[in-house]
Amino acid sequence: MAKVYALIADGTEEVECLAVVDILKRSGIETVLVSAGKTKDIVSSHNIKIQADAVAADTDFSDGDVIFLPGGLPGSENLSSCEELIHALSQAEADGRRIAAICAAPGVVLGRHGFLKGKTATCFPGFEKEFQSGEYTRQGVVTDGNITTARGLGFAIDLGIELVRLLIGDEAAESVKEKIQYR
């Protein structure tokens, strides 16, 4: 069974996170919501209280097929400063496992820490300045090798569907689209 670790931090854009988590869970993908903070309790960018399943400091990410990073501010900054997360992303990259991010997170986390080298990616316009040697595109969702990125909240469902497609196939992606009455 596929497994995704979805990170969340104080200031995370809650819909970007939870829309993707919802799509993954509807598709039968094990999804663990992990706090990048010291506790499981998070206050989102719009002051919504969310409780994660685990905290990054106590999580072994090595059995995950994907590490997913939602955007939002200061959520993306909080993810970027989480040492356990950056270590987990480095290990995932070394192992060839998938990394996904949306909105500010592709720039603030992936770009800033060098994960977009030689990759084409998207993000919320303005955060591409953090890409370093990565190439920016305005597409809604982009998969380049093991990196999948999305531009912003309006593409959260598309990102979830793309991850379902990559993890368990086209048929599962079409099935979840039908279940949620997507287009």
Print pLDDT tens along the chain (183 aa): 899 999 999 999 999 999 999 999 999 999 999 999 999 999 999 999 999 999 999 999 999 999 999 999 999 999 999 999 999 999 999 999 999 999 999 999 999 999 999 999 999 999 999 998 899 999 999 999 999 999 999 999 999 999 999 999 999 999 999 999 997
Which two three-digit tokens encode residue 36? Answer: 């990048």
> Whole-model pTM?
0.97
User: Which residue(s) pair with 142 in the sheet?
Assistant: 149
Q: Among residues 146, 99, 151, which one has the least CA distance to residue 128? A: 151
The fold for domain 3-173 equals Rossmann fold (3.40.50)
Report the half-sphere exposure of 36 (CA within 13 A, side-chain side): 32
